[in-house]
Amino acid sequence: MILYPFITLFLLLSPSSEEVEIITSEESAYLSDLYKELHQNPEISLQEAETSERIAQELEIVGFEVSRNFGGFGVVGILKNGDGPTILYRTDMDALPMPEKTDLPYASTKTADGANGTTGIMHSCGHDMHMTSWVGTARYMAANKGQWSGTLMFIGQPAEEIGQGAKMMLDAGLYETFGVPDYGIGLHCHPTIPAGQIGISDGYTMANAEMVDIIVKGVGSHGASPHMSIDPVVVASMIVMDLQTIVSRNLKPTESAVVTIGAIKGGTKHNIISDQVTLQLTLRTYKPEVREMVHRRIREISRGVAIAAGLPKDLMPEVIIPDVYTPANFNNTELTNHIIAVSKESIGDNNVVHAEPQMLGEDFARYGSTEHKVPTVLYWLGTVPDERLGMENLPGLHSPFYYPNIDKSLKTAIKVNSEVMIGLME
């Protein structure tokens, strides 16, 4: 762990300060060291004890009132500065159970024990960059209180990678305890947008993300006596093929959905026809009515194929759709337009690009999906290092080879975040 030096003051903002650095070189070096420290010491979902303590300390240094272990290892930092709106700004904290292969001098060497043995741990989704830019923004806002009036609610969220952290914090009473924010802002690293740029669009930007299981039942027998069976492998295979027609034939062509069968599990030996096969699906949708249609068709197809195979009523497939899922992320149009306008003024028109909607899931959406209907925006932070520009196959998120341009990404995030917040709180 690095030591905490004195807080370096940031340069003052200028409304049209594209060429003006928002942080000093000393501050940049401090944050770069913090990024490397976080990168070297990742913790997986629900185990973010040291990470959450580290960033909690950073907030306390600059005057935030900090609550720890809120909804798991969640961190809530509050900085009040007179009357004005409350802005929630979230960072996620967890890393992924996978070995790093970047060969960087500050690469992670941490490991974790899992169901399949010991594996490496890596911040391959950019959460280390999210945390560092979050800390940098907190430092800037605390050092420049004369430019804004209101309340900052900085959220350090656990367990984003497993889609649980936001719900854990909301269920623990986030809004009841600290108040309902007027706006919610988050960012996410993008693996193909160059560092120095941001990507953004309004409306749906990320999808409802669901995990569904289908338990396909059958009648087992010897593999040499298939006539004495109703083979669940065959039934499951037919279900898999028919599920492909949901998007191609049941969905309006101008709408979007993904139905992916990620795993088929069944059988034990070459010459045994089993009596059960499990299908594991991931579903991605935007609109509620599309989500409901996909659910209905999965049930109808599963039952229809089973009936056609001759299975009795008590052996119909069991379709398990959990009530809890990651909701679609919807960027509020008014807040999106504000961020676009401020960012173009701050980092230049050419550095603010349109980002197409993704079928990825992000539980940041939950902060704007409560009954309070808080306007939220999640934008993309460009991170591609200069030396990788022009590569045909850039490493994506969750790749063991992914890494961001540290300095340029941090400066862009802190500048955009700070000017957006000040613009909302002037």
Which strands, in side-by-side order, build the sheet including 257-266?
257-266, 276-285, 208-217, 318-320
SS (H, E, C) 260-300: EEEEEEECCCCCEECCEEEEEEEEEECCHHHHHHHHHHHHH
One-letter amino acid for residue 313 of the chain: K
Cα–Cα distance for residue pair 226/15, rounded to 1 Å = 76
H or E segment at 411? helix 406-425
- Among 143, 170, 6, 188, which Cα is nearest to 76's? 170
Cα–Cα distance for residue pair 136/140, rounded to 1 Å = 6
- Counting Cβ atoms within 10 Å, is residue 278 exposed (0-12), middle (13-18) or buried (19+)? middle
Which strands, in side-by-side order, build the sheet including 86-92?
65-67, 75-81, 150-157, 86-92, 183-194, 376-384, 198-200, 352-354
25-207+328-425 CATH, one of 3.40.50.720, 3.40.190.10, 3.40.630.10, 3.40.30.10: 3.40.630.10
One-letter amino acid for residue 81 of the chain: N
H or E segment at 419? helix 406-425
- Counting Cβ atoms within 10 Å, is residue 388 exposed (0-12), middle (13-18) or buried (19+)? middle
What's the pLDDT score for residue 161? 97
- Among 342, 358, 380, which Cα is nearest to 193's? 380
Among the residues of 173-316, which ranges form H helices?
174-178, 232-245, 288-308
DSSP state of 27: H
What's the pLDDT score for residue 21? 67
Name the segment(s) of the chain with CATH classification 3.30.70.360.
208-320
Count of other CB atoms within 10 angstroms of residue 348:
13
**Contact predicate 178/70, CB 8 Å:** no
Cα–Cα distance for residue pair 19/39, rounded to 1 Å = 29
**Contact predicate 182/86, CB 8 Å:** yes
Cα–Cα distance for residue pair 299/214, rounded to 1 Å = 9
Exposure letters 57-93 (e unless 16+ CB within 10 A, then b)? ebbebbbbebeeebbbbbbbbbbebeeeebbbbbbbb
Provide the β-strand partners of residue 198: 352, 381
Name the segment(s) of the chain with CATH classification 3.40.630.10.
25-207+328-425
What's the pLDDT score for residue 18? 43
Strand extents, DSSP E, 159-231: 183-194, 198-200, 203-206, 208-217, 221-222
Provide the β-strand partners of residue 122: 96
Was domain 208-320 assigned CATH 3.30.70.360? yes
Model's pTM, two decimal places? 0.92
What's the pLDDT score for residue 409? 98
pLDDT digit string (tens) for the chain, length 426 residues? 333 333 444 444 443 444 446 788 999 999 999 999 999 999 999 999 999 999 999 999 999 999 999 999 999 999 999 999 999 999 999 999 999 999 999 999 999 887 778 899 999 999 999 999 999 999 999 999 999 999 999 999 999 999 999 999 999 999 999 999 999 999 999 999 999 999 999 999 999 999 999 999 999 999 999 999 999 999 999 999 999 999 999 999 999 999 999 999 999 999 999 999 999 999 999 999 999 999 999 999 999 999 999 999 999 999 999 999 999 999 999 999 999 999 999 999 999 999 999 999 999 999 999 999 999 999 999 999 999 999 999 999 999 999 999 999 999 999 999 999 999 998
- Counting Cβ atoms within 10 Å, is residue 314 exposed (0-12), middle (13-18) or buried (19+)? exposed
What's the pLDDT score for residue 8? 41
